[in-house]
Amino acid sequence: MGHGFWCLAACLLLLLLLAAGCSRQRPAPTAVPAVQTVLVRETVIVERIVEVTPTPDPSAQPTTLRLNLGGEPTSIDPALAADPGSLDVVANLFMGLTSVDGQGQVQPALAKAWSVSPDGLRWTFTLRADVPWVNYRPASGVTALGPVTADDVVYALRRACDPRTGATQARLNYVIAGCQALHTADLAGLSDQAVQALVEGVGVQALDETTVEFTLVEPAGHFPAIAALPINHPLPPAALQEHGQAWTEPGNMVSNGPYLLAGWFHGDSLTLARNPLWPGWAEGGGNVEQVLLAMLPAGQALEAYRAGELDSVALAPEQRQAIAADPALGAQLVFVPTSCSEYYGFTHNLPPVDDVLVRRALSAAIDRQQLTTQATAGGELPANSFAPAMVWGSAAGDAASAPWALAEAQGGWGYAQALAQAQAWLAEAGYPGGQGFPTLTLLHNAAAGPGQTAQAVAAMWRAGLGIEVTVESLLWQEYWNVLSGGGLGQETGPSEGDGGLGQETGLGEGGQPHVWRMGYCGELPDQDNWLRQEFNTDGGVDRLRWAESANAPLAADGRSFNQLTAAARQSSDPAERQALYQAAERILNDTAAAIAPLYYYSDVYLTRPGVQRTYDALNGNQFAGWIID
């Protein structure tokens, strides 16, 4: 894809902006109709009428942002969007009830206010009345189709819970009454009336045109974050009923966000244009009038950036070190935390890691700065907590939790003090200088990254604590079976280099390792999706074998980890929930040292000087606030 495509797309979008009544008055060039043959999804040939214009005056060009999706979006239907490229498009075409900022804070969007009943089971959202559904077609320009209403919210939520839709994130809506019953039903064996009863039994109703009420099966203080999920964005029923699956094609698309779908050449590129009828522009925002989205693989995207054809590009892991060493491009690197973290879990019922002093010593003896700069070297950020900073209630960077994991510049101990304390804890546990300490088994799934991390950490423990460590690996399915309680026999198996265990393993009773690796990526920027779901043993998940510690009164107020995370789910007070989750993080990472947090994953971008942008790691990048100088 070269300069010719971008020039053509710019001309097309200039016409759109003029047809839509853009506030900037520019002379419209004479348009020449042409027929362009476009390959759609590599199987269907269609002909579309496009407007080919003479080269316009450069001063009349709309402010254009040029990015790369990395490939064809899986779907730009909000209920079906799953990959980052699809989510980026959806985030700009549609406006949800709420939105979540980079710190995990829920913000008003289509809903201007919300409230919860005293029992925590009914959430009521009041919608803005000034957000229209819009459609764009080249022949007629932008057409307003009426306001977004509460009925559109009801329609979208019922559709998301309906198994015929195929929404992969529908399980996140199971807290809504009736959603799980509908989503897990075998509709083929039911009558039409029974199916309709299930659909109408989903706990959402329109009280009037601008008021929608949700009924939950249990209190969920994080429900405003669930309301921000793309699967819960309101949808235009008439467009879906008229066009079916083709409703997301140009000309058919009806949306309510800051941008419009102006063009989509499947497998090649997608173009968005500023929606002049979106009321959010009157409340401030950026200056991007059109967005040209390429679909290039990582190598071609980097070359396009070097050639000045892209304004920002995500780097593949194998590209990062070379770019960091480039004097010019290295200055344009941006490291962005994602909603993923890496940690080592301890098997709490297996000596010697059944002793909290040993677990603390092992965690404190990991030099996370060295680990992320030398062993992994992919832009990862050292972690002192399970959840990264963009998750609501996270203790990331809080020196009150696992200060040994933080550098002095962050208010932590720094590694020298952390290692000295680790040695003291190990001695207090009865193993001075590592004497008498049994060989420790560190297990990871067979992959290059986890293997490098394991070898680096094992070397730190040997050198810093004087203990023996055996590093073992398993192919993923067998690895997961071990962590899930299936265990592993002592049979002869493939070597570590082949991704399996050697003839003699260091796995303890029940075929369990002392320490094991796990990564986690959340679907919601809220600790309910992190701490409670992953570690609250009352919910049935206990890979750590730490139920006794999870129920122990280890918080400053005498509550347990399980009680803290349960109380946070019940509460609808954001400040209370945040305090509860931070207290739970301290138990997990410090007081009980149930895990050793290692690092937060990050995305690495090149962003051209003069582009002021934000980065969203979960529900897609929103271009409305970006500024191009």
State the burial class of residue 4 (Cβ atoms within 10 Å of its Cβ: 0-12, 13-18, 19+).
Answer: exposed
72-108 burial, b for 16+ CB within 10 Å, e for fewer?
bbebbbbbbbeebbbbbbbbbbbbbbbbbeeebebee
Beta bridge partners of 40: 44
pLDDT digits (tens, 9 = 90+) for 23-38: 323 223 222 233 332 3
- Between the CA of residue 304 and those of 6, 193, 492, 607, what are the distances in Å? 12, 55, 51, 13
User: Positive or negative, the Cα torsion across 380, 382, 386, 387?
Assistant: negative
pLDDT in tens, 144-160: 999 999 999 999 999 99
Residue in 557, 559, 566, 558 with CA at minimum distance from that of residue 538: 566
pLDDT band at 323 (very low <50, low <70, confident <90, very high): very high
Q: Where are the domains of the chain?
A: 336-603
Which is it for the CA torsion 541, 546, 552, 556, positive or negative?
negative
Out of 7-21, 35-49, 86-100, 509-523, give the one with best mean pLDDT.
86-100
Cβ-contact 615, 395 below 8 angstroms: no
- Give me the chain's average pLDDT, please: 87
In tens, the pLDDT along 264-316 reads: 999 999 999 999 999 999 988 899 999 999 999 999 999 999 999 999 999 98
pLDDT at 558: 97
| Per-residue pLDDT at 167 exceeds 60 | yes
Q: Phi first, then psi: what are they for 554, rounded to 5°?
A: -95, -10
pTM above 0.75, yes or no: yes
Residue range 40-69: average pLDDT? Answer: 57
- Give me the pLDDT at residue 66, please: 97
Q: Give the whole-number percent of the chain exceeding pLDDT 90.
A: 75
Choose the weakest-confidence range: 2-6, 89-93, 457-461, 589-593: 2-6
pLDDT > 80? residue 166? yes
Mean pLDDT of the 503-530 span? 80
- Which pLDDT score, from 0 to 100, does residue 44 have? 33
pLDDT in tens, 411-456: 999 999 999 999 999 999 999 999 999 999 999 999 989 999 999 9
Topology given in CATH for the domain delimited by 336-603: Dipeptide-binding Protein; domain 3 (3.10.105)
| Residue 86 pLDDT exceeds 50 | yes
Buried b (16+ CB within 10 A) or exposed e, 189-216: eeeeeebeebbeebbbebeeebbbbbeb
pLDDT of residue 21: 34
Mean pLDDT over residues 170-184, rounded?
A: 97
> Which residue is associated with the tokens 């495509």?
5
- 540 pLDDT tier (thresholds 50, 70, 90): confident
